Amino acid sequence: MLQKLNERIQGVVAWLVIVLIAITFTLFGVDYYLQSHQTSNAKVVINGQPLTNQAFEVNYRRARAQEDLAQLTAADEKNLQNQVLDQMVTNEVTVQSARRNGFEVGPEQANAAIVKIAQFQEDGHFSSERYQQALNAALFTPESFQNEVRQGMLLNQQRFAFMGSSFALPSEIKRFVRLYMQTRDYDYLTIPLASLEKQITISADDINKYYKEHQKEFMSPEQVSVDYVTLSMRDLRSKIKISEDDISRYYNENQSNYLTPAQWKVAHILFAVPEGASLDEKEEIKKKADSAYAQLQKNPQDFKQLLSLSDDKLSLPEQGILPWIVAGQSEYSKLLSPLTQAGQISTPLETKHGFEIFKLIDYKPVTTKNLTEVKSTIEEQLAADMVQAQYAQALEQLTDLSYQTPDSLAPVAEALNLKIQHSLPFSRAGGTEDLSKNKQLVNTAFSHDVMELGNNSEPIQLDNDSVVVLRVKDHIATKELPLTMVQEQIKTLLLKNAAEIKAKEIGKNLLNPVEDQKQRDLIAAHQLKWSSVEKASRDGEKSNNLVNDLAFNLLRPESRDGVTLENGDYVVVRLKHINDGTLGALDKEQKDSLIQQIEASYGMMDYDLYVNSLINHAQIERH
Res 447: pLDDT: 94
22, pLDDT greater than 70: no
Q: Quick check: is 372 in a domain?
A: no
Q: Which of 429, 450, 479 is the last residue of a domain?
A: 479
Q: What is the mean pLDDT of residues 587-607?
A: 90
For 481, the 3-state DSSP assignment is coil
Tell me which of 452, 479, 506 is where a domain ends. Answer: 479
Instruction: Quote the CA–CA distance of 543 and 535 in Å, as a whole number.
Output: 12
For residue 71, tell me if it sits in a domain.
yes
- List pLDDT tens digits, range 417-437: 999 999 999 999 999 999 999
Main-chain dihedrals φ then ψ at residue 198, nearest 5 degrees: -65, -20
Asked if residue 400 and residue 297 are part of one domain, the reply reads no
Ranges assigned E (strand) in 171-253: 183-191, 219-220, 223-232
Domain endpoint, select from 311, 333, 365? 365
Most distant CA pair in the chain, distance: 110
Which CATH number do you get for residue 277? 3.10.50.40
pLDDT at residue number 316: 85
Q: How far is CA 106 from the centre of its chain?
A: 27
The DSSP 8-state label assigned to residue 276 in this structure reads T
How does pLDDT run across 314-355, given as a tens digit for each residue? 788 889 998 888 887 777 888 999 999 999 999 999 998 899
DSSP state of 120: G
**C-alpha closest to that of 471 among 429, 411, 397, 431:** 411
Q: How many domains does the chain have?
A: 4
What is the per-residue pLDDT across 212-227, written as a single tens digit (0 to 9) for each? 999 999 999 999 999 9
159 and 189 fall within a common domain:
no
Query: Do 450 and 497 belong together in one domain?
Result: no
Span 233-249, average pLDDT: 92
Note whether 57 and 161 are same-domain residues: yes
- Residue 490 and residue 211 in contact, taking contact as beta carbons nearer than 8 Å: yes
499, 197 in Cβ contact below 8 A?
yes
Output the CA angle 175-180-186, nearest 5 degrees: 120
In a domain, 291, yes or no: yes
In a domain, 597, yes or no: no
In the predicted model, what is the mean pLDDT of residues 443-465? 93
Are residues 164 and 188 located together in one domain of the fold? no
Distance CA 311, CA 295 (A): 18
Q: How confident is the model at residue 466 (pLDDT cuts 50, 70, 90)?
A: very high
Q: Are residues 165 and 189 in the same domain?
A: no
Residues 53 and 154 both lie in one domain: yes
**3-state secondary structure (DSSP) of residue 341:** coil
Q: What is the CATH number for 613?
A: 1.10.4030.10
| Residue 352 sits in the same domain as residue 464 | no
Tell me what percent of the residues of the chain surpass a pLDDT of 90: 63
Instruction: Encode pLDDT of 116-154 as tens digits.
Output: 888 888 877 778 778 878 887 777 777 888 888 999 999
Calpha distance 594→172 (Å, rounded)? 12
The strand ranges marked E within 208-324 are 219-220, 223-232, 259-260, 263-272
Residues 157 and 32 in one domain: yes
Average pLDDT over residues 86-107: 91
Q: Which residues pair with 468 in a beta bridge?
A: 230, 460
pLDDT, tens digit, 9 for 90 and up, residues 505-545: 999 999 998 889 999 999 999 999 999 999 999 887 888 99
As a whole number of angstroms, the distance between CA 327 and CA 340 comes to 13
Burial class of residue 257 in the structure, from the number of CB atoms within 10 Å of its CB (0-12 exposed, 13-18 middle, 19+ buried): buried
Grade residue 70 by pLDDT with cuts at 50, 70 and 90.
low
Q: Between 162 and 23, where is the model more confident?
A: 162
Q: Residues 151, 21: one domain?
A: yes
Q: What is the mean pLDDT of residues 493-503?
A: 96
How does pLDDT run across 197-211, given as a tens digit for each residue? 999 999 999 999 999
Instruction: Give the contacts of 333 (CB within 8 A, at least 6 positions apart).
Output: 262, 264, 325, 326, 327
For residue 248, is it within any domain?
A: no
Q: What do you get for the CA distance between the two ends of the chain, in Å?
A: 48
Which CATH number does the domain housing residue 426 bear?
A: 3.10.50
How confident is the model at residue 165, as a pLDDT?
87
Q: Residue 520: what pLDDT?
A: 94
Domain limits for position 127: 2-169+603-622
Mean pLDDT of 261-267: 92
The predicted structure's pLDDT at residue 552: 95
pLDDT per residue over 548-560, tens digit each? 999 999 999 999 9
Q: Are residues 472 and 503 in the same domain?
A: no
Examine residue 174 and state whether it is found in any structural domain, yes or no. Answer: no
Query: What residues have CB less than 8 Å from 197, skipping those under 6 apart?
Result: 495, 496, 498, 499
Q: How confident is the model at residue 5 (pLDDT cuts 50, 70, 90)?
A: very low
**Do 155 and 12 lie in a common domain?**
yes
Average pLDDT over the chain reads 88
pTM summary value: 0.55
